[in-house]
């Protein structure tokens, strides 16, 4: 890895330095000096979440699962880095390393200090468990520095091995977590556990410098007789949750594209924010990278159903995610970075014009996915695509991506892309 991050600060002087470092850490991962693990008590550690998002989990086993801080906040007055929150993607060979000394945690880039580091405090609900031994922390996760309750309702994907999205590790992650940690994680989260934990967080949790304001239901595609049954499952959960926690906190669902009847079913159940992720704009690459989604719904229909969803949920309440960078993967993507950026930017523009809010998750060649051996996507791609997203978002005067926190450097809390960290 020959690049020098300090050169990128000069190259992209209109982009916040924190956003540049964040994208670099997302694409390259981060390692930890051994002494860090002696001081991580009291912090939020990586636990079961739908996707593992680690680069070399398989080689590091227990340590990664048990002791890795889940989220990292970097800042530096010397390097003009405003507080910037990053998802931890573990990689033992990353040029980024977190160390510890008496002054605290530090982030090094190729052994040179670049920023101070804080970790998100361990939430109080992590200390609780049900009478049968199920731990609250294994029922739902608190993410984005405590801002969002992430409820992984459907912890598996019904697509067969060949049809699983190529970047996705949902099924291998569940298997790894349950096998290696003897965790009792049901493929379908049980409402009798979910409801009390969500209530406990909304009523009693207080993460320093943050508030829990939203909750979201998500999971893999759930099929019965070849048809999605996600609307039935999520409607049931939404009704029960809203009956218990009221309407103060908006709820989102992330699912496969739903037909019009099912969109209404979700709306009538009380859903506030509908998210169905198209992941890739180019139709042919979508077909190769997301074969299950392509066969079940198809690219054109996915887009039409997103537009229909705007009529039902209203502008600003319909989101679609892109796995940014996968359209430039060696295995399935464009051969040049410029084509990849142009294609995805065209997608952003089309969707924003129609009142749909696209967002991004930076591609992670996760150890449990088919694309685990992909070469690393260039940092320029990530900086330029985030800028393009931001400029189009301004052009179309859309609201911030709902349920994904505030925007702007020093304020954003979205952990796995920088589209929210750009601007002023
Ligand atoms: S639809 Fe694709 S991204 Fe979603 S869980 Fe299934 S394989 Fe993973």
Same domain, 110 and 206: no
pLDDT value, residue 180: 57
- 70-95: pLDDT as tens digits: 999 999 999 999 999 999 998 888 99
Give Dmax over CA atoms of the chain in angstroms: 59
Quote the mean pLDDT of the chain: 92
Q: Find the mean pLDDT for residues 46-67.
A: 64
Position 272 pLDDT exceeds 90 = yes
- Residue 279: DSSP 8-state: B
Instruction: With respect to residue 162, please indicate whether it lies within any of the assigned structural domains.
Output: yes
pLDDT tens, 274-316?
999 999 999 999 999 999 999 999 999 999 999 999 999 999 9
Whether residues 157 and 290 fall in one domain: yes
Ligand 1 centroid to 165 CA: how many Å?
Answer: 5
Q: With a 6 A CB cut-off, is 254 part of the ligand 1 pocket? A: no
Query: Looking at the structure, do residues 130 and 205 belong to the same domain, yes or no?
Result: yes
* 14/304 Cα distance (integer angstroms): 36
Q: What's the rounded mean pLDDT across residues 232-260?
A: 96
According to the model, what pLDDT value does residue 96 have?
97
State the alpha helices, DSSP H only, in 205-278.
230-245, 260-269
CA distance 216 to 232: 16
Decide if pLDDT at 64 tops 60: no
Return the closest-CA partner of residue 178 out of 155, 195, 157, 160: 155
Q: Which of 402, 91, 113, 421 is nearest to 275 (CA)?
A: 402
What spatial distance separates the first Cα and last Cα of the chain, rounded to whole Å?
31
Is the model's pLDDT at 62 over the cut of 60? no
Q: HSE-up of 70 (CA within 13 Å, CB side)?
A: 24
- The C-alpha atoms of residue 239 and residue 235 are separated, in whole angstroms, by 6
Ligand 1 atom showing the smallest separation from residue 256 Cα: 1
Counting atoms of ligand 1 from 1, which one is nearest the CA of 163?
7
Indicate the residue among 119, 141, 171 that finishes a domain. Answer: 119
Q: Are strands 71-76 and 112-119 parallel, antiparallel or unpaired?
A: antiparallel
b/e burial code for range 314-324 (CB count within 10 A of at least 16 → b): eebbbbbbbbb
Is 201 found in the same domain as 74? Answer: no
Q: Is the CB of 220 under 6 A from ligand 1?
A: yes
Instruction: Check if 171 has its Cβ closer than 6 Å to any atom of ligand 1.
Output: no
- Number of folded domains in the chain? 2
Residue 411 domain flag: no
Q: Which residue has the tokens 């051996």?
A: 373
Domain range for 154: 124-395
Q: What is the pLDDT of residue 59?
A: 47
Nearest C-alpha neighbor of 415 from the set 155, 147, 75: 147
* Contact (Cβ atoms closer than 8 angstroms) between residue 328 and residue 284: no
Name the token pair of 120.
């998100």
Q: Are residues 128 and 252 in the same domain?
A: yes
Confidence of residue 385 (pLDDT cuts 50, 70, 90): very high
pLDDT attached to residue 310: 98
Which pLDDT value is given to residue 63?
43
Rounded average pLDDT over 31-36: 93
| Structure tokens given for 204 | 């009693």
Asked whether residue 13 falls in the same domain as residue 101, the answer is yes
Judge if 104 and 170 occupy the same domain: no
Q: Which of 51, 163, 170 to mutate to test the pocket of ligand 1 (most atoms within 8 A of CB)?
A: 170
């Amino acid at each position: 890895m020959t690049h020098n991050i300090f050169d990128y600060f000069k190259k992209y002087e209109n982009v916040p330095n924190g956003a540049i470092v964040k994208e670099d850490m997302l694409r390259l991962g981060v390692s930890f000096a051994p002494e860090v693990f002696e001081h991580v008590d009291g912090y939020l550690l990586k636990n079961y979440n739908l996707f593992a998002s680690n680069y070399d989990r398989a080689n590091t086993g227990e340590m990664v699962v048990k002791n890795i801080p889940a989220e990292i906040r970097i800042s530096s007055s010397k390097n003009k880095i405003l507080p910037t929150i990053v998802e931890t993607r573990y990689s033992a060979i990353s040029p980024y390393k977190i160390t510890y000394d008496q002054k605290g945690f530090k982030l090094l880039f190729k052994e040179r200090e670049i920023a101070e580091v804080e970790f998100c405090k361990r939430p109080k609900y992590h200390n609780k468990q049900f009478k049968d031994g199920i731990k609250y922390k294994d029922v739902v996760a608190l993410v984005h520095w405590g801002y969002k309750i992430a409820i992984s309702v459907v912890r598996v994907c019904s697509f067969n091995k060949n049809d699983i999205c190529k970047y996705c590790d949902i099924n291998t992650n569940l298997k790894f977590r349950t096998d290696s940690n003897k965790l009792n994680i049901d493929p379908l989260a049980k409402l009798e556990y979910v409801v009390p934990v969500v209530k406990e967080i909304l009523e009693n949790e207080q993460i320093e410098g943050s508030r829990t304001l939203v909750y979201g239901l998500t999971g893999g595609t759930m099929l019965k007789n070849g048809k999605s049954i996600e609307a039935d499952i999520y409607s049931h959960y939404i009704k029960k949750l809203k009956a218990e926690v009221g309407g103060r906190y908006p709820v989102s669902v992330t699912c496969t594209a739903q037909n019009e009847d099912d969109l209404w079913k979700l709306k009538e159940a009380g859903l506030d924010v509908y998210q169905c992720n198209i992941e890739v704009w180019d139709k042919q690459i979508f077909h190769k990278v997301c074969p299950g989604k392509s066969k079940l719904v198809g690219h054109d229909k996915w887009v039409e159903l997103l537009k229909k969803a705007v009529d039902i949920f209203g502008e600003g309440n319909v989101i679609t995610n892109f796995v940014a960078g996968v359209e430039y993967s060696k295995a399935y993507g464009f051969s040049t970075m410029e084509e990849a950026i142009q294609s995805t930017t065209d997608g952003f523009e089309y969707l924003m014009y129609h009142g749909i809010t696209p967002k991004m998750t930076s591609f992670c060649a996760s150890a449990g996915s088919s694309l685990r051996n992909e070469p690393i996507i260039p940092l320029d791609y990530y900086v330029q695509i985030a800028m393009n997203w931001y400029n189009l978002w301004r052009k179309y005067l859309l609201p911030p991506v709902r349920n994904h926190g505030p925007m702007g450097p020093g304020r954003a809390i979205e952990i796995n892309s920088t589209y929210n960290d750009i601007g002023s």
